[in-house]
A = this chain, B = another copy of it.
Amino acid sequence: MSSRQTQEREWHRQFILERAVTEFAQHGYQGTTMERIAEAAEVSKGTLYNYFSSKRDLFLSLIEWGSGRAREIVEEALEDEEKSIEERIRILVNHFMEFFETGRDIHRILMTEGNRIAVSGPGDLGPAIRSHYLKFITRLAEFISQGQQEGVFRPADPQRAAMVVLNIVGAELSHSIISDYPEPVSTHAEAVADFVLGALGSPVISRGPAR
């Protein structure tokens, strides 16, 4: 097969994934039909199976892709050792918020469906997703641990703290849905970061409009 064909095949695969994300985000794993995905991706049902061996495979590919992107965000935000710990947390939240804007759907899946499926999903999706989740959490926990050693954060189980950070960020997503406000979610990145830093124990000096 020529390289160009391989390339195009990969593009097409990506395209299908991108369209599928929205469906899964809106209807959940079980509620999303291959038929709908096919329509959303503007291909026939059969074509889906030329790219993914099953619905499960498609969904897992999507989780992998999404959690990969999320890990990149964490990495990019945390790796710059020149910046202060607090600064880096703010950047992390910021990047996450922006990721929401463009990848709001994939995040929603990661947060809710992933959470539920990690418990006892159909076709044993659980372990696979849980593993992606853990890689993600672990990196964040390491950073928090470092912050604790430097005295910036108060002592607490780093993994629990990482989970808390993740869920506070997720709370903003829920809030945006419930409140149905018009402005981009990332507008509130500062406010969210305040909650995160507060939870981790850092003295909060909000730089947002409040106060």
Across the interface, A112 reaches (CB within 8 A) one of B116, B134, B137, B210, namely B116
CA A120 – CA B28 in complex, angstroms? 9
A168 / chain B contacts, CB cutoff of 8 Å: 164, 167-168, 171, 199
A contact residues vs B (CB 8 Å cutoff)? 25-28, 30-31, 108, 111-113, 115-116, 118-122, 130, 133-134, 137, 154-157, 159-161, 163-164, 166-168, 170-172, 174-175, 177-179, 188, 191, 194-196, 198-201, 204, 206, 210-211
Across the interface, A122 reaches (CB within 8 A) one of B27, B113, B122, namely B27
Supposing A30-B31, A108-B119, A199-B199 touch, asked if A171 and B160 sit within 8 A by C-beta, the answer is yes
Number of copies: 4
Q: Once the chains bind, are B178 and A28 in contact (CB under 8 Å)? A: no
List the 4 closest A-B pairs by CB distance, nearest first.
A30-B30, A167-B171, A199-B199, A167-B167
Supposing A155-B210, A201-B204 touch, asked if A178 and B116 sit within 8 A by C-beta, the answer is no
Q: Once the chains bind, are A174 and B115 in contact (CB under 8 Å)? A: yes
CA A188 – CA B137 in complex, angstroms? 19
Supposing A112-B112, A163-B174, A175-B163 touch, asked if A156 and B195 sit within 8 A by C-beta, the answer is yes
CA A72 – CA B167 in complex, angstroms? 24
Residue of B nearest to A109 (CB): B116
